[in-house]
Structure 1
């Protein structure tokens, strides 16, 4: 399990990555970025940051931000 500080730092890093690609992130959206470490507690190497923009029964739109050297298990 990751700490709250690590979680918040990963949210900010993901928002920075998305902003650098031209995607504007509001403060409310920053707070909604989910940080997944898959229970491995090694977020620098394994995990992902996910911002859900739309979540309906018919469609979902999500942005996945991968930090440098991060992989999904």
Structure 2
């Protein structure tokens, strides 16, 4: 099951982007409610490896399940 980046918790660190082995994490358009850059996970490409969760410095910014209600996907 793909992971989800919680749009309004993400603070725009790109550690997850660099670590992702399948390049499924992309920058979202504009800013989130915190006023920061945010990222989103392409569910169709995510291989559920969990590396993004391990490298993200913001607790709770990435959850280990597919939650389209928490992730704004362009």
- Asked whether the two chains share a fold, i.e. TM above 0.5, the reply is no
TM-score (norm 2): 0.27
- In terms of fraction of residues, the more helix-rich structure is 1
TM-score (norm 1): 0.27
- In terms of fraction of residues, the more strand-rich structure is 1
Higher relative contact order (CA closer than 8 Å, sequence separation 6+): 2
